[in-house]
Amino acid sequence: MSQPSKRSVRADVGKPADPARPEWLRSAFDRWSTFYDNPAVQATVYRPVHSQVLRELRGDGARRILDVGCGTGILASRIGREMGPEVQMLGCDWSAGMLEHAAARSRLVDWLQADATNLPFGNEAFDAVVTTEAFHWFPDQEGALREFKRVLRPGGTLHIALINPSTRLGARVLEAGSRAMGGVADWPTRADMRRRVETAGFRVRRQRRAPRAFRLVVPTVLTSAAKV
């Protein structure tokens, strides 16, 4: 099994020009990193989702874990802290601003800058890949899923949490809003998410709605799957 390479927070692995994701969006994420760490936002929006992911990882027995779109590193740091020293935890993000906060947060995690469609790791390097509230920002979601499959060992697990609208109409409303702001977000429905993950070569084990604030309006669903 290939070993994950260790790179500094400034490795800048994933910075090639991407016309689908304009450069101004990177600076927007950099600015968002400060608000993202707000304790009230974390407690009501993100922490319940993170707790669901942790329960899944413990059940998997995962020891080599990659958090893609790790943001300011709150989930990756929590995994490293709560799952113990036998776990090797890596976090990657497209935004240097997010990673600056992450690097200051924990030394239990290896941090690097990378794009989800071009992960700088060998084949079958991880037991589990997680991504929370980030997948909708990936302009090439199918390409990201292919990369997740590539870096996972046979039988390795994938856990993706994001807002999954109940209907295609709801998805179109969210997508239209993101386009109006110049963004590239794509929110698949729960059924769409299952279909995309299975098409990429995974077996979906379950899909669960996260018990978070405003869940009836913006339902975050955790899709858990295993590499076939």
Write down the pLDDT at residue 6: 39
The yes-or-no verdict on residue 40 having pLDDT over 80 is: no
Q: Domain ranges for the chain, please list them.
A: 23-227
Question: Given pLDDT bands bounded at 50, 70 and 90, which one contains residue 98?
Answer: confident
> What is the separation of C-alpha 16 from the centre of its chain, rounded to a whole number of angstroms?
20
173 vs 29, more confident? 173
The yes-or-no verdict on residue 119 having pLDDT over 60 is: yes
- For the chain, what is the mean pLDDT? 82
Question: Are the C-beta atoms of 200 and 142 separated by less than 8 Å?
Answer: yes
So what CATH class is 23-227? alpha beta
Model's pTM, two decimal places? 0.79
101-113 pLDDT, tens digit per residue, is 899 999 999 999 9
Write down the pLDDT at residue 165: 81
The yes-or-no verdict on residue 8 having pLDDT over 50 is: no
Identity of the residue numbered 23:
E
The yes-or-no verdict on residue 148 having pLDDT over 80 is: yes
In angstroms, the CA 102 to CA 29 distance is: 13
211-222 pLDDT, tens digit per residue, is 765 555 568 999
186 vs 99, more confident? 99
Count CA atoms closer than 13 A to 47's CA, side-chain side: 8
Question: Given pLDDT bands bounded at 50, 70 and 90, which one contains residue 81?
Answer: very high
Mean pLDDT of 40-51: 73
In angstroms, the CA 219 to CA 207 distance is: 12
Residue among 44, 47, 93, 43 at smallest CA distance from 73: 93
Write down the pLDDT at residue 83: 95
In angstroms, the CA 119 to CA 92 distance is: 9
